[in-house]
Amino acid sequence: DSGAAASGRSILGLVGLAADGGTEVAVSAGGPDAGHAAAAVMRLITDGFGEMEEGPATAAGPARASRDGAQPATPEGALAGQPGAPGVGVGPLARLQLQPIAVPDEPGGDAGQERGRLAEARREVAATLKRGRSPGAAADPQAGILAAHLELLEDPELDAGIEPGLTAGRSAARAWSDAIEVQRKRLAALPGEVFAQRATDVADVGRQVLAALLGVRQQPQVAAGAIVAADDVVPSLVPALRDARAAGLALGGSSATSHAAVLARGLGLPLVVGLGAALDTVAEGTPALLDGGRGLLLLDPAEEVVRAAQRAQREARAAHEQARAEAAAPAVTPDGTAITVAANVASLAEARAAVEEGADEVGLLRTELTFLDREGLPGEDEQVEALTGILETLHPRPVIVRTLDVGGDKPAPALGLDPVRNGFLGQRGLRLSLAWPELFHTQLRAILRAARGHRVRLMFPLVSTVTEVRGAKRRLAEARASLEADGLGFGEIEQVGIMVEVPAAALAADHLAPEADFFSIGSNDLLQYVMAADRTLAEVSALRDPRHPALLRLVAMTCRAAAATGRWVGVCGEIAGDRELARLLIGLGVTELSMAPRSIPAVKAMIRATTRATAEAFAAAAVAPPELRRRPNREPAHE
């Protein structure tokens, strides 16, 4: 025990404590949400401070390794690096030019005024970061990077380093610059990629605030169509380079797992990293072809090489557009079974992606993300505004709105949830909404108001009993009546359904069916409950096999109960976006599959190539006891 301590609110302090991979860190917390706070800090440390995102598949292992493990020869006139972000760019090489930031050494003014100037600069940078972040897309690596930068802006360790400088009479810019440099050097001196990335993040945030303080323009000076060369870039420059229409980015240093590379992949900017010092010897303006997928920078490429690369780009673009165009059409099996292919969304950005990728409708609109990562609860008007923007983007597609689903692995600080009482086996999902009637009433009113002019269906999460469904429908009727009494406009709910996430709901689906217009199977939760394997624990991940007959039989049982009462069944868990598993689900009787937007074109293509009979044969084999299983033959004519 070194005796060192750090605040759980400080990413910089926590990183410092866990500098060595084997360091044992004790976490303690107090207050009403102490359990969740401690758990969040432990997850942050064990997950590598958010640095576990892998690079592209082509970047794993040695660059451009062939199938037999040998390194392919580098083409003549080319520099070899590592793949950073796929894509091909052609254009003249241009050195990255940034306006230097010179921090004046003259004394500052009144300490209070300097604090105010610094606070205003930090607010300006925070507003810029928030504009670039998709609300609710916390799982998106790009959003995670922006969120990390927002946290660094307010890190207590930085505040502790700034205050002595201000008290000593230094300017806001000098005090900020000195504090940033102390933290950057501290992190850069630590071994490992995690700390190198955090050092880059600190430098990036530091530069943005200094630019705001000193009025320095941060946009890179790059000609459109250029291959931009630099030793490294901070993450915030990648979107700016994309906006400046750079053809690609060539870096002497960096890595495929850097935050700059994560952003480049997400924004479609071709990138090669690790080109080394040889990049410095290339003359400005040299014609170049950058191949991000192969990790190559070709200098003075022959005209036929350029034409071939551009042709390949055009063909890839055309194939992508064709897939999207086909995805917009209905998905019907060769023997005439129509399957609805829907999207899971939580933000405007995901709603736009759903439209672009050809979603027939939205099978899951998550509402809980409006409640997460905030100290206060969202009001009714705020919820209406958030929902309306998404519904307008998706119009006229039907949208299934799920009511608040917090608890388990989704804590909501404003609610002060307890990790046990509101854990996976506690009061979460619909149980929590029914226990908090005012919270539920406000959300139902917001959903009804936002539904005006749109096709909205409602879905209750984590249902176990008929009593719960009837209670939720009563609350919906009360919310509707209150809006009528207040003279506020609202829309009608097309259908009211439930999520089947608890084995009890699947086993008693025939009793629940009369109370619900549809069932939507949440396979992630259903699998963890039926296998008694916490979905957040890696130690039991082997038990969470979505092909396990126990899960598939519950799906089949739900589909039979639904069919007997004229209801339909959808699946909105991760398995819906897997082509093989989606085929099994169709064979079991599922008629709606809801998934991440990017999976839609491939799943629709699978449906159009698979007969219902083939899907049923696959499903029958999958639910059979292991000793009786036989994988059915595929249909050559369609698959």
Q: Just list the catalytic residues.
A: 259, 572
CA dist 141 and 145 (Å) reads 6
- Token pair, residue 376, equals 């206060």
- Give me the sign of the Cα torsion angle 289, 295, 296, 297: positive
How are the residues of the chain apportioned to helix, strand and coil, as percentages rounded to the nearest 5?
Answer: 50, 15, 40
Q: Which residues contact 229 (CB under 8 A, 6 or more apart)?
A: 93, 94, 95, 96, 250, 251, 252, 279, 282
CA dist 495 and 492 (Å) reads 9
- What is the separation of C-alpha 49 from the centre of its chain, rounded to a whole number of angstroms? 16
Residue 550 half-sphere exposure, CB side, CA atoms within 13 Å? 12
DSSP state of 597: G
Among the listed residues 396, 404, 85, 442, the one whose alpha carbon sits nearest the alpha carbon of residue 269: 85
CA dist 39 and 337 (Å) reads 46
Contact 514, 469 (CB under 8 A): no
Among the listed residues 55, 56, 52, the one whose alpha carbon sits nearest the alpha carbon of residue 44: 52
CA dist 226 and 249 (Å) reads 9
CA dist 227 and 91 (Å) reads 6
Phi-psi region of 312 (alpha: psi -120 to 50; beta: other; left: phi over 0): alpha
- Calculate the alpha carbon distances from 418 to 36, 376, 450, 529 in Å: 7, 17, 31, 20
CA dist 347 and 354 (Å) reads 11
- Give me the sign of the Cα torsion angle 169, 172, 173, 175: positive
Q: What angle do CA 121, 126, 129 make, to 5 degrees?
A: 130
Q: What angle do CA 415, 421, 426 make, to 5 degrees?
A: 105
* 3-class SS of residue 293: coil
DSSP state of 164: H
Among the listed residues 393, 126, 149, 145, the one whose alpha carbon sits nearest the alpha carbon of residue 267: 145
CA dist 532 and 452 (Å) reads 41
- Token pair, residue 531, equals 């296998």
Show the DSSP H helices in 103-171 as ranges: 111-131, 141-153, 156-167
CA dist 293 and 297 (Å) reads 11
Strand partners, 343: 362, 595
Pairing type for strands 248-251 and 227-230 reads: parallel
